[in-house]
Amino acid sequence: MNRALWIKAVADCWKQLVGSALLLAAFCWVFVLLMSRFKAGAFGVILNFLPGFVQSMVGVPLALLATPVGQLSILYVHAITLLVCVGWALGRGSDSVSGEISRGTLDLIISLPVWRVTVLIIPAIVTAVGSILLAASVSLGTILGLACVRFDQPVLASSFLPGAFNLFCMIFCFTAITTFVSSWNRDRWWTIGIAGGFFVVELIVKLIARMWPEGSWLYALSFLSAFEPQELILLPDRGGRVAMQYDLTLIGVGLACYIAAAIVFNRRDIPGPR
């Protein structure tokens, strides 16, 4: 019976996974090609016209963004990258419970001789593997782009690995948060709306904490404070301790949300579809 759940979990997400992975790889490849068109120092000139508060929003020195590695590090926080990854997290997390309730299939699934927790764990594992593939797609697109162009300074593909892993950790964490919302909700669209709104609020809190010196305590209120791929890429001299702190924070919050979702799902009554 568990085998059937594994097959169902893969069947439910493979189309979104393939489409998202191809889109990310293609976008990153094109982005690298476009960045290679900038002449040496041209990107730095553009950054010099930006107001001072922009550096606070970015979180890394603007001088580092003017380097080829800095230009390409934008990929890991780009709006398109985040849109695709957040869309994956919302789609998979919301489908785990509230999506099944909306389709009227959850009653049938939990009537089978399987543990309720298993119904939640198997899609979570499949989604985590998919999240790894999405982060790898960003790296793959970057590598393909670097293989097609040359920059004025040498760019090593390995420089982006800390950022790619931090991106995976963020996707894992937000998927878990969405799953937790789904565990006590009955409507998938309500789940997507609540979790998506929460992501926007967390992003705003993080930006406020960056731009308001007295509000640094707000970092503790946003899980996105641990999502700093550009910092990990551009400031490798800070060592692996910072990377471990960020990544373990995201993984820890994600695991806590999955445990909370399993407890809620294991105890709740399953309503019929509307």
- Residue 183's domain comprises 2-267
Report if residue 217 sits inside a domain: yes
Give a yes or no: residue 19 inside a domain: yes
Q: What are the mean pLDDT values of the chain's consecutive 10-residue runs (274 residues total)?
A: 86 96 97 83 58 61 80 94 98 94 86 86 96 98 93 88 96 98 94 97 92 85 94 80 92 98 90 69
Among the listed residues 129, 109, 124, the one whose alpha carbon sits nearest the alpha carbon of residue 270? 109
- End-to-end CA gap in the chain: 28
Tally the domains of the chain.
Answer: 1
Instruction: At 107, list the tokens.
Output: 């009653």
Confirm whether 46 is domain-assigned.
Answer: yes
In a domain, 252, yes or no: yes
CB 246 within 8 A of CB 226: yes
Residue 273 lies in a domain: no
Nearest to 151 by CA among 60, 47, 33, 233: 33
Q: Does residue 155 belong to any structural domain of this protein?
A: yes
Tell me if 272 is assigned to some domain: no
Q: Report if residue 274 sits inside a domain.
A: no
- For residues 78 and 167, the answer to whether their CB atoms sit within 8 Å is no
Q: What distance in Å separates the CA atoms of residue 160 and residue 158, rounded to the nearest whole number?
A: 5
Task: For residues 117 and 232, give the distance between their C-alpha atoms in angstroms, rounded to a whole number.
Answer: 35
Contact call for residues 171 and 89 (beta carbons, < 8 A): yes
